[in-house]
Structure 1
Amino acid sequence: MADLPAAQDRSSELQQQVQAAFAVQHPLAIQGSGSRAGFGLSPSRQYLQQQPLAVAAHRGVIDYQPDELVIRARAGTRLVELEHLLASHGQRFAADIPVPSAESTLGGAVASGWDGPGRSLGVSLRDTVLGCRLINGRGDIVHFGGQVMKNVAGYDLSRLQVGALGTLGVILDVALRLAPLPETQVSRCFAVQPDEVDSWWRRSKELRPLLSASCYHRGRLQLRLSGRTAALEDLLPALGGEASDFDWQALRNLRGDFFNGRQLACLYVPPRSRVDIEQGEVLLDWEGARLWVKDGDHQQLQHTAKAANGFLRVLRGDGAAPLLPAEHWHRRLRGALDPAGILNPAIFREQFTAAGGR
């Protein structure tokens, strides 16, 4: 086995801090590396009068079984370290997990719940979480799931941590499903008019399972193909297009000029929906089911998303706020896991207020 990242188990220390906060009903602000703070994942300053709970130092791989395609690591473990370890065994995360910076952690990835451009052609991060260990709002360490794939009845509480932003518990460690690295990966680029994009999304079904990501921006359709070398050699001559050096990691990690605007929002709509964006610059991925909009009118985008039976997430600019699940059942889960409401209450309160609550 390759060298593992340096391990530091801070479980007891973190548990004691949560227990102390619960005893006096003092709110805690869970803090990781902060690499996602610039994308609408931090509450506004008016809610930041909370005691910090730093989890980034709780790190290290607990168990890695290459033959079983499973890894379990602590929340503060850096994603780049894990990617390096997995690559040394010819493996990768089964999900396309964004890595906004070299400091980005596994716990931050799970808590924020992001998925990269390969989501529509693979599996989501939520679907690759096999189990987790966390501290609930009472200061108890609890376990959910395991390290094997199996059917479960009722709520799968380990997967519900994905995208919960720490409001359902302080994540200590996570077990994730892995996948082999593709033998070959290439990109092809096509000049496509806006009114032709829909036909390309339909055509993309014929390219599966070799198609691993797609993106449309400024009249250029980018396709990423991954798999066996022989299979790609058979496909590429008939597919056509130009060889491309498109930076898929920059798209996955929300880096580059497009994502540097003062206003940044994302529309999620049903696959192959026809959505007209009147303002701002647009980039499509997930076969058109996810639309990134730079410098658009967020109020107008909200109406557009609703009309398309989708929803809007504002990551930067007017209306930026953390995105949590449906308020009604999320409240009930919090009541069971964090009865005093001390874990990241600012994030939950701000989201509820933005939705029209009190």
Structure 2
Amino acid sequence: MSKILVTGGAGFIGSNFVHYIIENTDYSVTVLDSLTYAGNRASLDGLPIDRFDFVQGDICDAPLVDELFARHSQVVHYAAESHNDNSLHDPRPFLDTNIIGTYTLLEAARRYGTRFHHISTDEVYGDLELDDPERFTELTPYNPSSPYSSTKASSDLLVRAWVRSFGVQATISNCSNNYGPYQHVEKFIPRQITNILTGERPKLYGAGENVRDWIHANDHSSAVLAILERGIPGETYLIGADGEKDNIAVVELILSLLGQPKDAYDHVVDRVGHDKRYAIDSSKLRRELGWLPAYSSFESGLSSTIDWYRDNEMWWHPQKAAAESRYKQQGQ
């Protein structure tokens, strides 16, 4: 039975990946997570103890990382500071986790010859004009616009350098915006869902024209597994499900699915430097590794996500008041 180490596995997309791996393969999984506000141990409840282990710790802790790499043949690196608004308020944690943390992991991968997969974001490419027919590809130049995306771009470049300079067996994936279970209520889609479920109105940045390319977390997980098992070390793969929607359309669809008037939302102050549009061309992944998303319909994926939040208030409710307090302080 192969053993996979998942960093940041108590976070949103990391925990979804852990559940996906346990449910769809015979791998055993160890999660390394520092349990910051974005990590939630409850997101990993119910996993089989004979195939799952949890270690609380920091990816910048080199002795701990070294000990864990010695016991695992494959590592999937999800751990990251990832909220744009937080990076604008205090960039330093993003440098520590996204750059120094990734460096620490790469050095361990170099020592132990570990198969290493690095999870990144489409935000490293900057943004596209709303009427631009192009989409991001693996050859798109990096043009990050926030402390968050610039530190993720930096971590990607570290991975590429360690592949070329030291022969680390690493791949990179840059994914579009995820949605699904276990996502913190500070994020766009769960914030709107939980606002409605608690009797509040959804909040829309600015005019709501910004476009994101949405993918269900399960589809992201299946793509990462395909890359881990069949991807070529040194290669980058973009992950997307052709789910481009502007923010106003997403809010209106959430309202509609929850039986509310489509205009029952409030406009709030826009984010500083808010990227206009992200769009992923995932044809390389589909062509070379034979991957396809299971959720071809954004509406069906969103409906199942709403059902999850409706059924799991005990998971998200403790986070809600603090998240809304932070937004209120920012006028959002």
Asked if Structure 1 and Structure 2 have the same fold, meaning a TM-score greater than 0.5 normalized by the shorter chain, the answer is no
Structure (1/2) with the larger strand percentage: 1
Q: TM-score range by the shorter chain?
A: under 0.3
Structure (1/2) with the larger helix percentage: 2
